[in-house]
């Protein structure tokens, strides 16, 4: 989390770094519509620290309201929450920064929900910590760790192409390793199949498996797209630059979702002004911005990781579930807020100040 915002010449502002308050950054940014969260999790255990970081959502197809959320306490390990926000499990796996999961993976010969987290315990040696998640008991079972390159582990996202499972390990310095994972046997294995590069600190990532596009947020610069195919072009293409208006430094979490009239969205946490920015998933054009303000639960500030899954989550979360890290609470703790995606869709459709 940072508090210095450089406004670049690309937006007609001074190229010199300018120290701004959050209120000033909000005032300079494009308008955003408001939504409220419908729920929140119990805070992570690391108090008075920047600790909660990234969520991953498991949607239970047989009992949607029994779906689960896995969230990192990057000082301590992994939590599992239910949709009421109650803690169902905690694994004291250490400094796990970001997390992703996939259902239906074969792990040690059995179909399972595979959970993968970026392990930054050794800042010189990135590792991927692997677990299975039992949907019935909400318990995590460690599978093992595998190496993921030299450097500090930061972001992680999973994808499967042509029958092969990959993890994209985003290192703190902007290096991205595409790692082939083999978890089918009794001991997990990993092989780095190629390396991509951004110029500076990067973290949030997500893969659109339908288009084989990898999206990565470079915190001070913007959102980038790569060809996610292991044999693809490794050159990054800019989707959106940090400009102090539509996307405000830091650009953090990244997610994918489906919006009104089947419009597909890329969602990015615009941490610098406590907002979330939407882009069209097909054209990558800017669509609009929103903030999560206080309602039945508190507002959301300084968000790091986010996750979004569309579909049935029961009556409490119509349309889908958006989970966001909340970096600022009055009691010195951090937690995750839960938003119904239909609330975002309806607010976007009716907001008079939604930018075009």
Model confidence at 15: pLDDT above 80:
no
For residue 250, say if its preceding peptide bond is cis, omega within 30 degrees of 0: yes
Backbone torsion region of residue 345, taken as left when φ is above 0, otherwise alpha when ψ lies between -120 and 50, otherwise beta: alpha
For the chain, what percent of residues have pLDDT higher than 70? 92
pLDDT at 33: 96
8: confidence class by pLDDT, cuts 50, 70, 90 = very low
Distance of CA 42 to the CA centre of its chain: 19
Grouping H, G, I as helix, E, B as strand and the rest as coil, residue 348 is helix
14: confidence class by pLDDT, cuts 50, 70, 90 = very low
pLDDT at 20: 84
Classify strands 286-293 and 33-36 as parallel, antiparallel or unpaired.
parallel
Model confidence at 11: pLDDT above 60:
no
Model confidence at 355: pLDDT above 60:
no
6: confidence class by pLDDT, cuts 50, 70, 90 = very low
Q: What is the pLDDT of residues 27-37, one digit of tens each?
A: 999 999 999 99
- Among 218, 212, 110, smallest CA distance to 166 is for 212
| Cα–Cα distance, 294 to 329 (Å, whole number) | 12
Q: Please give the C-alpha separations between residue 353 and each of 27, 34, 133, 198, in angstroms, as whole numbers.
A: 14, 11, 42, 34
- Among 114, 211, 208, 198, smallest CA distance to 154 is for 198
């Amino acid at each position: 989390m940072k508090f210095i915002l450089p406004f670049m010449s690309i937006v007609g502002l001074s190229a010199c770094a300018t120290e701004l308050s959050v209120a000033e950054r909000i005032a300079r940014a494009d308008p955003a519509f408001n939504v409220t969260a419908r729920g929140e999790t119990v805070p992570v255990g690391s108090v008075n620290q920047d600790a909660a970081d990234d969520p991953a959502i498991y949607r239970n197809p047989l009992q949607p309201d029994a779906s689960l959320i896995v969230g990192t306490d990057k000082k301590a390990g992994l939590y599992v929450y239910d949709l009421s926000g109650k803690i169902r499990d905690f694994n004291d796996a250490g400094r796990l920064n970001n997390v992703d999961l996939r259902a239906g993976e074969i792990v040690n010969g059995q179909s399972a929900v595979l959970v993968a987290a970026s392990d930054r315990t050794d800042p010189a040696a990135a590792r991927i910590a692997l677990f299975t998640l039992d949907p019935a008991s909400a318990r995590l079972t460690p599978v093992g760790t595998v190496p993921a390159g030299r450097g500090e582990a930061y972001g992680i996202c999973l994808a499967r192409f042509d029958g092969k499972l990959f993890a994209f390990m985003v290192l703190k310095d902007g290096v991205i390793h595409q790692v082939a994972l083999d978890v089918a046997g009794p001991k997990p294995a990993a092989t780095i199949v190629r390396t991509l590069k951004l110029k500076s600190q990067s973290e949030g990532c997500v893969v659109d498996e339908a288009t084989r596009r990898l999206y990565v947020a470079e915190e001070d610069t913007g959102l980038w797209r790569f060809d996610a195919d292991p044999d693809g072009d490794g050159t990054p293409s800019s989707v959106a630059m940090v400009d102090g208006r539509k996307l405000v430094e830091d650009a953090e979490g990244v997610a994918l979702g489906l919006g009104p009239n089947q419009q597909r969205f890329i969602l990015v946490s615009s941490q610098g002004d406590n907002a979330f920015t939407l882009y069209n998933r097909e054209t990558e054009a800017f669509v609009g911005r929103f903030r999560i303000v206080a309602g039945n639960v508190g507002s959301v500030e300084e968000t790091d990781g986010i996750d979004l899954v569309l579909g049935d989550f029961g009556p409490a979360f119509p349309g889908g579930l958006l989970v966001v890290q909340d970096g600022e609470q009055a009691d010195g703790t951090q937690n995750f807020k839960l938003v119904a995606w239909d609330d975002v869709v309806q607010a976007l459709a009716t907001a008079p100040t939604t930018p075009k």
